[in-house]
Amino acid sequence: MAAKKQDSNNKSKKRKQNPDAKTNTNSSFSKRPKLVSSKPENKQEKKPFKPFKKQNFGKLKSQSGEEKNTPLSKRERRLHAKELTEARKKRRKQHYTLEQELARLWEKMRQRNIVKEERSKIIAEAILKMKGKIPEIASSHVSSRVLQTCVKYCTQAERDTVFDELKPHFLTFATNKYAIHLVMKMLDNASKKQLAEFISSLRGHAASLLRHTVGSVVIEHAYQLGNATQKQELLMELYSTELQLFKDLSSMKESRLPDVILKLNLQKGSVLRHMASVIQPILEKGIVDHSIIHRVLIEYLSIAGKTSAAEIIQQLSGPLLVRMIHTRDGSRVGILCVKHGSAKERKKIVKGLKGTVGKTAHFQYGSLVLACIVSTIDDTKLVTKTVIRELQSILKELVLDKNGRRPLLQLLNPNCTRYFSPDEMASLSLSISSLNSMGELEVNSETKSLKDEESSDKDNNGREVTMAKPDGSTSPETLQLIEGGKKDPSIRRQELLVGSGLAEGLIDICIENAEELLRSNFGKEVLFEVATGGSGGILRETLGDKMNTLHEAIASLAAESKFEESDKDHVLENFHSSRTIRKLVMESSMFATTLWKKALKGKCEQWTQGHSSKVICAFLESSDSKISKLAKEELQPLIDSGILKLPEKKQPANK
């Protein structure tokens, strides 16, 4: 060991003592790379990697007949590639040449400025070329577009020819991503007989097509175009196998599933199992945008047991529900999910609406779901953060919109029949019988009788529904049953409306845009509710000063001179604003006093004609004796002289 160490030390010393080792080319210690590889000759040496550069050479024949490889220009390479593509398409497509001819004709026929006779001539030529081959080329990306334009502009005879050729293949085309557009265009332009034939051809295939992403669009389109009988025909086979097999059973007047089961004496369990087998694959694939599916879900929930209904609500709670609430039945499904969902499911529904609240509020049926959310869900912090904050960002836009104002009005005056139609009230009061908590609670006889007296009504279809009409006489216990939440409705309203700052924002909007809202057909109702303090005077306690400022702003508009030249008529003479001010005088003594002192005192004679006379008469018709006494001294001489006439209908009531 000592010898080895000594040898190694000697070697290292020798290396250190040789200062010219790097410069001496003959030295064996040189680290310069060797030119000749020391590896065996049969092994290939590694060459540095160079990126492969493709060179295109074309084969050209010289004068002697020999082939020479010469590089092609860019244009020649492009033309050569195009020729290869054309040759490949001709081998792959049987009617490729025909499609090219049709594409050239299509470019002419689809122009907007083309003469009608010229277009008809081109369409006739195209249909003649396609005759007998339409089913073969209808699935093509190009030919389907040509056929759509032909069907849109051709004569009825030519359209019938195309329909007859496509008729045996409708089911195949209904699942093709290109041909589907042709099928829908055929349905849009079909006669009543052709539409009936098409819907009949779907018999037995509706369930399978609804599970198909493309086919479901065709079923929905046919459902929208069909009459009540044809819609019922499509729905029936989704209810039961018996109704799918026997056509005679599906032709009945009853439209609701419980009535159908009762009349045909069907087994409820069998119907539920069949409908579950239809619905589950559809929900798993997320195909929930179509109204026919919404109708099936509503019918299923009307007969489903507690477990089945809870499973459907659990599946729908979340982003899926947002895609459903644009239709009447879809909004009803959404309302049922909000009412009967657990706290976790309600949280998913509210979070699923994030970013779409403003858009949803502008929908006729989506606004109903938002109205249900603000009057049902007890988690006011979540609702404020997700729903109220988005509404506040577009508050003025919502106040002036017919549908957008509904969630606001629901908070200001819950379940008011003045703002919701009977059918909408029926939707808001829907419940699932198997999940209805009202049956589990003990309600005394007084509450039941009160509910029967105030809530029995009929919707537009003549069916009896239970509608909630909360007012001052309704007990808190009844209100809890109506609203569907465990929290006291008054506390929930207070937290969402006042605690969130929404009410303060509403009053500011009304003060800044008082004139515009008074003249608006929809904004005037929000202004009226805000100026009166909302149902139960919810705004008066904390925002009384701001309400007085709003009263002053309206009175200032009424105090403007009648004879000033302006493009707009005076607020007391405008149709909408005069009636709103009249209602405010009747409902709010504070506003009536402010208006009288600031705008009308000593000037009543000039407002005794036209729409403004209704405002003047409102002081005498007011239920508050102080208001009538305030104006009687000045108005009585005008009545006696015949200048001011009280409405005839109101005179007996006052007496």
Q: pLDDT per residue over 499-536, tens digit each?
A: 999 999 999 999 999 999 999 999 999 999 999 999 99
Summarize the confidence of residues 399-418 as an average pLDDT.
94
Does 471 score more than 90 pLDDT?
no
DSSP 498: I
CA–CA dist 548, 553 (Å, integer): 9
Question: How far is C-alpha 203 from the chain's CA centre?
Answer: 30
Cβ–Cβ under 8 Å, residues 585 and 579: no
| 484: alpha, beta or left? (left if phi > 0; alpha if psi -120 to 50) | left
3-state SS assignment for residue 465:
strand
Nearest to 353 by CA among 377, 316, 398, 319: 319
Element of type H or E holding 457: strand 456-458
Annotated domain spans of the chain: 93-189, 501-641
pLDDT of residue 277: 93
pLDDT of residue 423: 94
Does 650 score more than 80 pLDDT?
no
In terms of DSSP H, where are the helices of 513-624?
A: 514-519, 523-532, 540-558, 575-587, 589-595, 612-621
> Quick one: pLDDT band at residue 25, thresholds 50, 70, 90?
very low
pLDDT of residue 68: 52
pLDDT, the chain, mean: 81
3-state SS assignment for residue 69:
strand
Query: Six-digit token pair at 521?
Result: 């057909």
Does 287 score more than 70 pLDDT?
yes
pLDDT of residue 380: 94
Nearest to 309 by CA among 430, 429, 434: 434
pTM exceeds cut of 0.75? yes
> Quick one: pLDDT band at residue 398, thresholds 50, 70, 90?
very high
CA–CA dist 610, 620 (Å, integer): 17
Least confident of 43-47, 202-206, 268-272, 583-587: 43-47
Choose between 122 and 628: higher pLDDT: 122
> Quick one: pLDDT band at residue 323, thresholds 50, 70, 90?
very high
Cβ–Cβ under 8 Å, residues 531 and 523: no
CA–CA dist 460, 464 (Å, integer): 10
Does 481 score more than 70 pLDDT?
no
Query: Who's near 335: CB < 8 A, 6+ residues apart?
Result: 368, 369, 372, 427, 428, 430
> Quick one: pLDDT band at residue 47, thresholds 50, 70, 90?
low
Cβ–Cβ under 8 Å, residues 617 and 647: yes
Query: Six-digit token pair at 220?
Result: 């929905």
Count CB neighbours of 424 within 10 A: 21
3-state SS assignment for residue 11:
helix
CA–CA dist 167, 193 (Å, integer): 13
CA–CA dist 43, 61 (Å, integer): 40
Least confident of 223-232, 297-306, 468-477: 468-477
Least confident of 129-138, 322-331, 476-485, 583-592: 476-485
Does 621 score more than 70 pLDDT?
yes
Cβ–Cβ under 8 Å, residues 408 and 361: no
CA–CA dist 252, 258 (Å, integer): 13
Single-letter code of the amino acid located at 73: S
Question: How far is C-alpha 220 from the chain's CA centre?
Answer: 16
C-alpha distances in Å from residue 18, one per residue of 22, 24, 33, 210? 9, 10, 20, 90
Question: How far is C-alpha 449 from the chain's CA centre?
Answer: 39
Summarize the confidence of residues 569-580 as an average pLDDT.
91
Summarize the confidence of residues 484-492 as an average pLDDT.
83
> Quick one: pLDDT band at residue 585, thresholds 50, 70, 90?
very high
pLDDT of residue 333: 95
CA–CA dist 77, 73 (Å, integer): 6
CA–CA dist 524, 43 (Å, integer): 94
CA–CA dist 112, 119 (Å, integer): 10
CA–CA dist 507, 546 (Å, integer): 7
pLDDT of residue 48: 55
pLDDT of residue 491: 93
Query: Six-digit token pair at 326?
Result: 């644009």
Query: Who's near 189: CB < 8 A, 6+ residues apart?
Result: 151, 152, 159
Count CB neighbours of 353 within 10 A: 25
